[in-house]
Structure 1
Amino acid sequence: MIDSARTSPIRVEDTTSVEISPKDRFVTVYGRKPVLEALDDPRLEVDKVLLAEGARGPAAKEILDAARRRGVAVQRATAQRVKVLAGNGRHDQGVLADVVAPRMKPLALGLEDHPRGLLLLDGITTPANVGMILRTATAAGLDGIVVPRRGVASIDPLVVKASAGVAFRAPVLRCATAGEAAGLLAEAGYPIYALDAGARESIYTADLPERAAYVLGSETAGISDDVRPHVTGWLSIPMAAGVESLNVASAAAVLCFEVVRRRVSR
C-alpha cells in the first residue's frame, strides 16, 4: 500500500482561474491591544484597519496615531459591520486589522509548489491547539499546514497568541473544509495518513513516502467522515507507562519532527 503510494505521480490541476479570497491572504486580528501590537510590530505588514464609527476617545486616538505612523489606511464602518467581519462580537472592541500573511494561500495554489510534508487539521476547534500546531509545524519545517475555513478554529487573536506570533508567517494553506482538502490532496497524488492511537503501524517504523499528507483529527470525534475515505493508512505514536494518548498539539509536534527527521536523513 505504501510502496504504491511512493510511486504515484503528483498531479496538480490548472489553477490559473483560482480566485484568492481576502481570507486566504490576511490574518484578521481584532480588539484594541492585538491591533495596536500588530501596528507597533515593524515585522508585520498591516493592510488596513477597520474602526467602528462610534469609536472615540483615547483608545481610538491611540489606534489612529499608530496607523498614521505606519501609513496604514483606517476605514470607518458600523459597529455591526466590524462585529461581522471580526466574527467575534464579544471581543472585537470596535476595531480590527487585516495583517498580511505572506505564506498563506489557497491549497490549490500551494500544491503548484509540490510541497513534500503537509499537515491537515480536521475538526480541531480549540484555538490554543491550533496556535501551538502552527508554531510547531513551522518550526519543524513542514511545507504546509492546511487550515480549513470551516470546522477548525479561525486564525484569530487567540490562535495568534498561542502560536507566539508565528501564525502570521506560517505556511498556511486554505480551503473550505477538511473533506475538500483531502479530496484535492488525493487528486494530486498525495497519500494521506491519519493518526490513531489504536493503529498497528507506528510513525517510527512505517515505510512512509517523502511526499505525503498527515491528518490530525479532533480529540473528541477523531477523523471526520468526509476525510476517512481518502485515508491511505493509519499511524500511531507508541505510548509507554500506560499513557493512552497525547494532546493533539503534542502529537503534532512528535509527528512533524519525525517527518522532517526522515527527510534530512534520506
Structure 2
Amino acid sequence: MEISPKDKFVTVYGRKPVLEALDDPRLDVDKVMLADTARGAAAREILDAAKRRGVRVQRATEQRVKVLAGNGRHDQGVLADVVAPRMLPLDLALEGPEQPRGVLVLDGITTPANVGMILRTATAAGMDGIVVPRRGVASVDPLVVKASAGVAFRAPMLRCATAAEAAANLRAHGYPLFALDAGAEESIYTADLPERAAFVLGSETYGISEDVRPHVTGWLSIPMAAGVESLNVASAAAVLCFEVVRRRQAGR
C-alpha cells in the first residue's frame, strides 16, 4: 500500500511554527513551502533557518500554500512538512505483523486543544494507536501541535477518512469497540477489557456519532463522586488510557 503524504507528515503553517520546527534538532523537516509573494526579513529568516538545517524550500503560489495548509487566514505564506515517524494509515497498521493492542478512536472532537491534549496523554500512557480521522475531527495543525506540547509529531497516529470507517475496520479485524458514556452501567475499572481492544471518544456536544454507534460492542463509564456529571473529553481520555495500560502492565 502506498502511503499518502498526508499520512507521513504533520504540516505546520505560519512563520513562528515553521521557525520553531526548523530550530528543533529533534524534528525531521522534509520541506518548507514558501509563497512566491513572501519577501523581506520574515522570508529571509525562514530561508536562512532552512539552509542551516539543509531543508529544501519550494516556492509556490500564495493560493497553493493556502490550499496545502488547509487554512485561509493564518498560514502567512509558509508551511513545513514535518516527518511523523509513528504515523500510519489505519489499514496498514491493522494488516501489519504486529497489530496495535490498545487503540483510541476520536469521533467528532473538533476542539484543537482537546485533540492536542489527547494525543499527548495517550502517547504518554503508552497506547499503541490513536485514530485521528481526516474528516469530523480537528486537523492536526499548529494549534493541535501546541496543545500537545509537540508530542503530536511523535504520537502513534493512525489515519483514515472518518471515525465510522475506523470503527468498521477495527471490528472487521476482530477488535471489540468500547465507548465512553456517563450513563453506562459498566465501569472502566470493573469491565472485562481484552488486551486487544479499541475505545472511541465522542464529542462533548453530541457524544458518539450515529454512524459509529452500530459498531460499539460495549459502553463504559468513569465513576464520578460529589455530584460531578462528566469530565472534559481530554480528561476522560487520560483516565481511560492510563487504566488500559495499567491493566496491560499488571497482566490483567
Map of 1:1-266 to 2, 5 A cutoff? Answer: 18-111=1-94, 112=96, 113-266=98-251
Shift of 1:110: 1.1
Once the two structures are superposed, what CA deviation does each residue of 1:205-237 show, in whole Å capped at 9, x if it has no partner? 011111000000000111011111110100000
Which residue is 1:15 aligned to?
none
SS of match in other structure, 1:110: helix
Once the two structures are superposed, what CA deviation does each residue of 1:56-104 show, in whole Å capped at 9, x if it has no partner? 0000000000001111110001111111111111100000000000000
Of all paired residues, the percent bearing the same amino acid is 85
SS of match in other structure, 1:75: strand
Please report the TM-score for the alignment, with normalisation by the length of structure 1: 0.93
Shift of 1:20: 1.2
Please report the TM-score for the alignment, with normalisation by the length of structure 2: 0.98
Gaps of 5+ in 1: 1-17
Shift of 1:114: 1.2
What is the count of residue pairs matched by the alignment? Answer: 249
Which residue is 1:7 aligned to?
none
Gaps of 5+ in 2: none
Once the two structures are superposed, what CA deviation does each residue of 1:135-188 show, in whole Å capped at 9, x if it has no partner? 000000000000000000000000000000000000000000000000110000
Runs of 4+ in 1 over 4 A off after TM superposition: none
User: Matches of 1:152 and 1:23 in 2, distance apart?
Assistant: 15
User: Matches of 1:205 and 1:265 in 2, distance apart?
Assistant: 14
User: Matches of 1:89 and 1:52 in 2, distance apart?
Assistant: 13
> What do you get for the CA RMSD once the two structures are aligned?
0.5
User: Matches of 1:54 and 1:105 in 2, distance apart?
Assistant: 34
Higher relative contact order, structure no. (Cα contacts within 8 Å, ≥ 6 residues apart)? 1
SS of match in other structure, 2:132: strand
User: Matches of 1:190 and 1:226 in 2, distance apart?
Assistant: 17
